[in-house]
Structure 1
Amino acid sequence: MDLRDLKGIDDLIASLEANVVLPLENDALAAELDLKPKRGILLAGPPGTGKTTVGRALAHRLKSKFFLVDGTFIAGTAGFYQGISQVFEAAKQNAPSIVFIDDTDVIFEDSEEYGLYRYLLTMLDGLESESAGRVCVIMTAMDVGSLPPALVRSGRIELWLETRLPDEEARAAILGEHLAKLAGPIGAADPGELAAQAEGLTGADLKRVVEDGKALFAYDKVRGFDLRPAEEYFLAAIGTVRANKRCYEEAVRRARERRKEPVETR
């Protein structure tokens, strides 16, 4: 997947092209204009809005110059410090390069992880040297409020990009791309009609809508039921996805409330 294949985030992609890709790919122009990639970039936005997909697209574009740290995997593990250190050292040795830290807020949501964030700050500050000046750190976060202020202050995070929910035009483009892959009558559904009923859904949600809709169509076809207009299957799937999102959001809310409850001591 290439950056330009991503739908509905044209401004974000243009900013990454100018501030990251161009300085890393065009050595001659970078030398002529003294261009350096931004030292720190934050991709912030709700789940499913394409933050990790952007990282994968960057990895495809830059190939061996991309180093991934998965916050959900490494947070709280005994090897965190060694793992982070090895990643940053490899990035400096292979500069120009990108260190992509996915789900950064997961690393810092627990107050007990204070030492981890201080260590990460040390790594970031180490990129100020001229020899490491062509290493860019891109972090993603769903809950920016979980990030320590010292991490997002000017100088460490030089560019703040927001991944937003797709608007109606972007939703239609995303749905159209998925529907185009379907053969037969189910693929003839009107993406514009579906997009108008899918406000508030993310790109990941829309992919799920298409998957669930075609499953409903297949069930009716196999059972010999009268087939409905294609749009009806996807509209039913939109309702199911919305219900699942409400359940997930409620579960997250309750989990956060439990974390805030004082621990009873005896």
Structure 2
Amino acid sequence: MPPYPIRQFPCRRDNFGVLLHDPETGNTLSIDAPEETPILQALEREGWRLTHILTTHHHDDHTAANEALKARFDAEIVGPEAERARIPGIDRGVRGGDRLSIGSLVFEVIDTPGHTAGHVSYFVPGAGVLFAADTLFSLGCGRLFEGDAATMWESLKRLRALPDETLLYSGHEYTATNARFALDVDPGNLLLQERVKEVEALRVRGEATLPVELGREKRTNPFLRADDPELQAAFDMAGADPVAVFAALRTKRNGY
């Protein structure tokens, strides 16, 4: 399997831009398009030409540069069919369960509604990477703007089922705040304590906290552990329905 270089860089106030390159074909894909200039600068640094934009959901901070980049590069825009009417410049709609082939890259499209009603995530088995945008953050998850707790919990369980070695890329640099929250609700978790120290050191150096192995998130992210008896006990909800635990976690996080 050929290597697939990935470049991650800041956009807007706290978004991430991500480029994925296929050396075999020369295809370069942007995961969402938060802001044109940082994406253009990253393409220029690498000597790559943009060919595709994979949109995860319709929010403006993920689609703002769609039309400008499409006009400049004639890039194809792929996105969730359920949000087609709200995604600027979309050419092709995808649904959960689809396998999307672009050159030698193969993406599995995963339905992950909750943050928005039609949010999708993209998993690349051949590269072992997951682009989860605003469904799953390191030590956190997205706000429930268009879905309820039960919907988001099911989405997170789909992502949790992926292999531990999968590298998680998310849409925002929220990890430091998420870390404070996670430690508040699960203070005895030694693995979480280690991750919090790592996050603090990375941010002091001005470095990104992502990507991170999904296996670490499964053991430290409270939103992936709403059915874990240890997390439930730490959160004073032992034996409660996981959806209720998740909902309570999300409500508490909203106040941070």
TM-score, normalised on structure 1? Answer: 0.29
Larger Rg: 1
Q: Larger RCO: Structure 1 or Structure 2 (Cα < 8 Å, ≥ 6 residues apart)?
A: 1
- Which structure dedicates a bigger proportion of its chain to helix? 1
Hey, which of these two has a bigger chunk of strand by percent? 2
TM-score (norm 2): 0.30
